[in-house]
A and B are shown apart, each in its own frame.
Chain A
Amino acid sequence: MSEVAASPTLDRLGPDESGRIARMGGDPTVVRRLMELGLVPGTRVRVVRRAPFGDPIELEVRGVHLSLRRSEARLIHVERD
């Protein structure tokens, strides 16, 4: 439980909350792909908004805006700012 509190997954962040990517877990191919898009551990991400129907979410990372389904955002653990 405490671990969840310490590094929540990205889908737990609310609009305009940001954090630093701590680690990623899940299918290696999917993780590599997310990393190639710039979601590398240590990088700052900001959740910009949720889509009108709740999913997906919009992220800002390295000045780029990405749309991720929440199931994908769940693979990314962050340290909240």
Chain B
Amino acid sequence: MSSVIERDPAPPPQGDGPRTPAAAARRPGRVAILGNPNAGKSTLFNRLTGLRQKVGNYPGVTVEKKTGATVLPSGRRVEVLDLPGSYSLQPGSPDETIVRDVLLGLQGDTPPPDVIVFVVDATHLERHLYLLLQVRELGRPMVLALNMMDDARARGLRVESAELERELGLPVVEMSAARGEGLDRLRALLDRDIEPPALPLRRWPAHIERVVHRLEARLPRIPALPERGRFDLALALLMDDGDDEVLARAAPPDVLEDARLLARRLDHAWPGWRSDHVEGRYEIIHEIARRALPVPGETRDVVRERIDRVLTHRVFGPILFLLIMGTIFQSIFAWAAPLMDLMDLGISRLAALTASVMPAGPLRSMLVDGVMAGVGTTLVFVPQIAILFLFISVLEDSGYMARAAFIMDRLMARVGLSGRAFIPLLSSFACAIPGIMATRTIDSRRDRFATIMIAPFMSCSARLPVYALLIGAFVPNVWVGFVTLPGLTLFSLYVLGVAAAILLAAVLKRTVLRGGKPLYVMELPPYRMPSLRSVLLTVRERSLLFVRKAGTVILAVSVVLWFLASYPRGGPGVEALETRAAAAEAAGDEAAAGALRQEIAGLSLEHSFAGRVGRAIEPAIEPLGFDWRIGIGLLTSFAAREVMVSTMATVFHLGDADENSRTLRERLREEVDPDTGRRTYTALVGVSLMVFFALACQCMSTVAVVRRETNSWRWPIAMLVVMNAMAWLASFAVYQGGRMLGLGS
């Protein structure tokens, strides 16, 4: 046993830089917080940085980069980086890849930190020490933050931090980030010069080490790579299965080829060499834990057992789960409505005010109908996003989210997804925007992207006004068994969306999102009381991110759509109508003037680029039973699906009619095609249009948020193409099939 543990009392400083007087000036400027998931990293990060946080993405990937700053007792400001939670430096997820890349200096935009603050949960010391040993082998200056000491004490667990300090050769700070205990001690420690740890506690077997050294010698110079990190990079190359893009770029092809060859030889000569070392590390950990925890204390978590007995119970578990989901769904669907109305009202007041103080003209029109409409569209999502993330962060921080995934995993596995996909998909029935944002709780990149791609198929609340208008116009209110036909129609549209989602998920998981070695191992963390502070920070962060990142795209598209619907101005006969409207107004005949204005709006839209687009795409949508006026609606509803209703009202010269307007419904029903003398919109057209709305991706906000969440334009464009193609085909099948059955009259 003792031969395994190798300690070198005085390591000659090599490469880590001699301690010159200049060292004081080089005191840590960049601190990284690192640890297992559920160690309390984010809580510590929030405590250290407060509101001075920046959230962005690491370039090219979807992993979030959180940075902030904190002020040390000396008055020095240091940058703090919150690295994603990680179990191992041999990455198993995009998050873990980023951690390795940052520590090995392979992440171009993020140089390795000067000091690592390694956070462990004192109540789960053994498990959390695994990553610590791995990271310690890199030989970077490091501090151990022994977190959740309050929990440990409450459980009668005595942790000998002095013993840990001696065993690991690292400064240790006892703390409770949730309560803010130990923060000052941590800050004071960071103010000092921190020595890098001595040599690794466990060396690799000589025969493996020789191979690694051979590969190491062939590596190119990587300036950001710490001296001892070269060994780990060579090791990572040996262990890689060949699908790690970052590693593939870290070394020239011939070195990569060699690495593969050497790995194969090792596999042949010492099968199990990859995992033997894991066992060795755990042997050391066991030793250290035995010394640091002299009294084992109460290892059983009584609270957890009691709660889990109910929450994951065979019968009550699913019932409680449904109740919780129902509450979440109800609140984003209904409770957000008053807040959304308030936002709407605010924006329209502002628009009216602008309209009243500015002279009429293109600038006013652009501000009111383009910019403010775009701002309004963005802000209207904020209440839903805020409410959903309020729930999600409470569920996540309390530990329930993992139980929800535990319960739902079996059902979601049938579609090739994980249990964590359930909440994002459920939320998408209210609105795909918060739903897609909620997919970040899914660890596997492939599963996450599949979930993002199918989320917009869940019938969202913006489709409801369109359904209401069309059902009201075309579906007779009769009873079919114990339901009404309109109700059944609405239900079928929801089912249609879910069916399309299942189909697309199955296809994606068998094609572009196939492969990898999906592991669904997941930790079921202890239950903890969520902190209000963390929850509110998350809500604020998510809302701001949406407004900043997706809002800009939404605003730009709104202005483009405004332009298309407003230019070129005029149109045949519009001028004459304007004169008549002005005359009617002067004569005090408000009714006549209003009717004329509605006619002007209709003619102008028809004459605009949007109108021309509508006509231009008519041949493409004619097989679905749509005419050019619906074509205009399909274009303008890209701003938001419900805009379809007001566009139809404008096209039919009805002013501001809404989906419950009887006149609009009648107009749709009774519109006659002047060429054929038959009705333009039959019930079959109505059904075809509803099917189209159920499946099409007609929402610029969704596109914008997918762009932000996947960090590329590839996925949102693929989404547009795939969903709209599916919508076209389904509507085509409905309309042409219906006509063949003689339903088209």
A contact residues vs B (CB 8 Å cutoff) = 24, 27-38, 40-43, 48-49, 51-56, 58, 62-69, 72
Residue-wise interface mask of B (292-318) relative to A, using a CB-CB cutoff of 8 A (1 in contact, 0 not): 000000010000100010001111011
Contacts of B282 in A (CB 8 A): 35, 38, 40, 43
Residue in chain B with minimal CB distance to A61: B127
Cβ of B241 < 8 Å from any Cβ of A?
Answer: yes
Residue-wise interface mask of B (377-416) relative to A, using a CB-CB cutoff of 8 A (1 in contact, 0 not): 0000000000000000000000000100111011101000
Contacts of B407 in A (CB 8 A): 51-53
Q: Is the CB of A72 within 8 A of B523?
A: no
Q: Report how far A55 CA is from B127 CA in the complex, Å.
A: 24
Residue in chain B with minimal CB distance to A35: B278
Q: Report how far A54 CA is from B314 CA in the complex, Å.
A: 9
Residue in chain B with minimal CB distance to A54: B410
Known: A52-B314, A53-B407. A67 touches B402 (CB 8 A): yes
A/B interface sample: 16 pairs, CB < 8 A:
A28-B274, A33-B521, A35-B279, A38-B127, A38-B130, A38-B282, A40-B278, A40-B279, A51-B312, A55-B413, A56-B409, A58-B406, A58-B524, A64-B126, A67-B520, A68-B521
Contacts of B123 in A (CB 8 A): 63
- Please report whether the interface of chain A is mostly helix, strand, loop or mixed according to DSSP: mixed
Residue A52 contacts which of B274, B304, B318, B517 (CB distance < 8 angstroms)?
A: B318
Cβ of B522 < 8 Å from any Cβ of A?
Answer: yes
Q: Report how far A35 CA is from B130 CA in the complex, Å.
A: 10
Contacts of A58 in B (CB 8 A): 312, 406, 524
Contacts of A33 in B (CB 8 A): 88, 90, 92, 519, 521
Tell me which of A34, A40, A48 has the highest count of chain B C-beta atoms within 10 A of its own C-beta: A40
Cβ of B74 < 8 Å from any Cβ of A?
Answer: no
Q: Is the CB of A41 within 8 A of B279?
A: yes
Distance between B265 CB and nearest chain A CB, rounded to angstroms: 15
Q: Is the CB of A68 within 8 A of B127?
A: no
Q: Is the CB of A67 within 8 A of B409?
A: yes
Distance between B409 CB and nearest chain A CB, rounded to angstroms: 5
Q: Is the CB of B520 within 8 A of A56?
A: yes
Q: Is the CB of B126 within 8 A of A67?
A: no
Contacts of B522 in A (CB 8 A): 66-67
Q: Report how far A49 CA is from B88 CA in the complex, Å.
A: 26
Q: Is the CB of A30 within 8 A of B517?
A: yes
Q: Is the CB of A69 within 8 A of B279?
A: no
Number of interface residues of B (CB under 8 A): 42
Q: Is the CB of B406 within 8 A of A63?
A: no
Cβ of B678 < 8 Å from any Cβ of A?
Answer: no
Tell me which of A28, A48, A58, A63 has the highest count of chain B C-beta atoms within 10 A of its own C-beta: A63
Residue-wise interface mask of B (449-469) relative to A, using a CB-CB cutoff of 8 A (1 in contact, 0 not): 000000000000000000000
20 more CB-based (< 8 A) A-B contacts, given A28-B274, A67-B406: A32-B90, A33-B521, A40-B282, A43-B282, A48-B308, A51-B312, A51-B407, A52-B312, A52-B315, A53-B411, A54-B410, A63-B127, A65-B524, A67-B405, A67-B523, A67-B524, A68-B521, A69-B413, A69-B520, A72-B521
Distance between B346 CB and nearest chain A CB, rounded to angstroms: 45
Cβ of B715 < 8 Å from any Cβ of A?
Answer: no
Q: Is the CB of B519 within 8 A of A30?
A: yes
Cβ < 8 Å to A, chain B residues 22-71: none
Q: Report how far A24 CA is from B279 CA in the complex, Å.
A: 12
Contacts of A65 in B (CB 8 A): 304, 523-525
Distance between B296 CB and nearest chain A CB, rounded to angstroms: 10
Cβ of B87 < 8 Å from any Cβ of A?
Answer: yes
Residue in chain B with minimal CB distance to A36: B88
**A-B pairs with lowest CB-CB distance, top 6:** A53-B410, A65-B524, A35-B278, A36-B88, A62-B126, A67-B522
Distance between A77 CB and nearest chain B CB, rounded to angstroms: 14
Cβ < 8 Å to A, chain B residues 82-123: 87-88, 90, 92, 123
Distance between A39 CB and nearest chain B CB, rounded to angstroms: 9
Q: Is the CB of B521 within 8 A of A55?
A: no
Residue in chain B with minimal CB distance to A39: B521
Contacts of B318 in A (CB 8 A): 52-53
Known: A63-B299, A64-B127. A35 touches B521 (CB 8 A): no
Residue in chain B with minimal CB distance to A30: B517
Q: Report how far A66 CA is from B405 CA in the complex, Å.
A: 12
Contacts of A48 in B (CB 8 A): 308
Known: A38-B127, A40-B282. A31 touches B410 (CB 8 A): no
Q: Report how far A59 CA is from B19 CA in the complex, Å.
A: 48
Residue-wise interface mask of B (560-585) relative to A, using a CB-CB cutoff of 8 A (1 in contact, 0 not): 00000000000000000000000000
